[in-house]
Structures are given as structure tokens and as C-alpha cells.
Amino acid sequence: MSHPPLVHRGTFAVLGPAGDVTGARGASPDGLFLRDARHLSRWQLTLDGAPPAVLVPMTTTGPAAPATAVLTPPVGRDEPPPYTVVREQAVAAGALVERLRIIGNRAEPCTVRLALTVDADFADQFELRSDRRTYDKGDGRRTCALRTDGAEFDYRRGAWHSRTTVTARPAPDAVAAAEPVSATGSAAQRLSWELELPPHGRAELTLRVVAQPHGTAPPRSVPDDPSAVTAER
């Protein structure tokens, strides 16, 4: 189940309780949408190699605050988690902005292995909703170019060209092809970080997803802080 969509100036994001996008289709597709196309079809976080446990599902307290979820790595029933992740998200015009605040819970150093699987399938909303129409896209081609700070997804069909750019700060330690999911194709990439937290230490990651539909320029300026995005409204 997703929380209410994040919406701003024609851009909207449908996300799950942990803030993820799974590539869902049918009556309730998830993702980042602009101009009726899905510019983000996977956005899946793992902590220490597994989906996180959701302590507080993604909620929004109002238009002036980012949506927030509280997550931990999965642990045993009687084992306290070594760290907590506060995940904040906001939608700007043509973009999704996210901040991950990692908070150490132990009096000894802790290693955090964090990964994010990302993809953009550029599917039309009518396709995603399974309306039984057929679409000839035989000449369509999706590609992904790696960046030092993320990945850039492109879709070309004839003269049509759309793009989604994912960037992170700090840059990921590695970017590699992820195992494809049939519903979203084979362009998915996994961005990964290994962070060393001192005792009761903290770390922070910021991520931006910028959508550029065909015939448009990218947004001139997108803050890298979800709170800054919502404060501009």
C-alpha cells in the first residue's frame, strides 16, 4: 500500500511505505511521473543486503514538510538494530529529492552497507494501467550511461528522446547492473555505499532524480534537500 502521492506542478510520485518504487503495473502503478510517462520505475533501498524493516511508514504532515519514513536493517526479534535510517522525500517540478539520515545506535563503530536499485522504463500511464490497448514501440530503445555520481537513463524512439538522471552525494562507491525485473526491463542499476559510523555516529546521503521529457529542458535548479524543496512552496 502506498501513501498519498507527492505532487508538485504536474510532477507526482507514488511510493510505498518504505519510500520505494517497485515497478508495479495495473490499477495502482508506482513511480515518478511527468507528462503521463513514468520516469522512475524502480527505487528500492536495501540495508545490509536486505529490504529494510519499516518502523514508521512514509507519512506527510503537510505541504511544508517532506514525507518521512523511519527504517532499520532487519534484525532478530530481541536484537536492537545497529542503526536507524530516517528517509525523507519531496517532489519538485520535474524531480524527486531524497535524504537518508543514518543514525548509529551502538557505543561501538558500525559498518552500514546501503544499496539503491534504480531504473526508468518511460512507460505511458495507459500502458501501465493494463487498458488492453496495444502500442507499437518496436523501434524504442532504452539505455543507461553510468556517471561517477549516479546514472543517466535514456529512451529513444525515432526522434523522441526522454531522459532521467539520478545523482547522489556523496557519490556511490560502486554502480553496477542490477538483476532485471521483467516488468521494468534490463537497464536497472544498483548504487551502493559502505559507510563507517563511529560510536553513536551519523551519516547522510542525498539523492536527486531529474526527469526530462521529450522536447523540454531540465529544471534549472533542484535543491538537494527535501526540506528546501517544500520550503519553496
d(CA 229, CA 44): 22
Domain-embedded: residue 172? yes
Amino acid identity, position 94: G
Report the number of distinct structural domains present in the chain.
Answer: 1
Mean of pLDDT values over 177-185: 60
For residue 173, pLDDT over 90 is answered with yes
Domain-embedded: residue 156? yes
For residue 28, pLDDT over 60 is answered with yes
Domain-embedded: residue 1? no
d(CA 12, CA 93): 9
Domain-embedded: residue 128? yes
d(CA 221, CA 12): 18
Domain-embedded: residue 23? yes
pLDDT score of 101: 98
CATH assignment of the domain containing 151: 2.70.98
Domain-embedded: residue 176? yes
d(CA 182, CA 228): 36
For residue 132, pLDDT over 90 is answered with no
pLDDT score of 134: 57
Give the number of other CB atoms < 10 A from CB of residue 111: 11
For residue 232, pLDDT over 70 is answered with no
Closest CA to 120 of 91, 98, 153, 90: 153
For residue 185, pLDDT over 60 is answered with no
| Each residue's pLDDT tens digit, 59-104 | 987 767 899 999 999 998 888 999 999 999 999 999 999 999 999 9
Helix, strand and coil percent figures for the chain, each rounded to 5: 5, 50, 45
d(CA 149, CA 165): 10
pLDDT score of 215: 87
Domain-embedded: residue 205? yes
Comparing 83 with 5, the larger pLDDT belongs to 83
For residue 230, pLDDT over 80 is answered with no
Contacts of 99 (CB under 8 A, 6+ apart): 66, 87, 88, 204, 205, 206, 207, 224, 225, 226, 227
d(CA 72, CA 54): 7
C-alpha cell at 131: 487498458
Domain-embedded: residue 90? yes
For residue 158, pLDDT over 50 is answered with yes
Closest CA to 43 of 75, 91, 9: 91
Comparing 230 with 21, the larger pLDDT belongs to 21
How far is the CA of 169 from the CAs of 99, 206, 223, in angstroms? 10, 5, 12
The values of phi and psi at residue 125, to 5°, are: -60, -35
Range of the domain at 51: 6-231
